[in-house]
Amino acid sequence: MNQEADPSPAATATATPESFRRLAWNELVKRGDYIEDGKSGFEPWVGPSGFHADSFIKTIYRKYSPQRKAGPKPA
């Protein structure tokens, strides 16, 4: 029997929309990006990399990367 991927809540991202940023039209989509799904939030992109974000019908998002705080360099 062919078992399809289960769209369970564990398979979708549980982050808030504030933790994502929308990709610009010319940014390349890669694994680890997310597709907005109107019903269950965001789904991780599991397809091939290398496509521009504007080639998709749905909006592509990427999680904000943690920024390092600029502090004094050790001497």
What pLDDT is stored for residue 15 in this prediction?
58
Residue type, 7: P
CA dihedral sign, ordered 60, 65, 67, 73: negative
Q: pTM value?
A: 0.60
Check if the beta carbon of residue 44 is closer than 8 Å to that of residue 32.
yes
Give me the phi and psi of 10, to 5 degrees please. Answer: -70, -25
- Residues 22-47 have a mean pLDDT of 87
Mean of the per-residue pLDDT values of the chain: 76
From residue 25, alpha-carbon distances to 20, 36, 47 in Å are: 16, 15, 18
| pLDDT value for 16 | 65
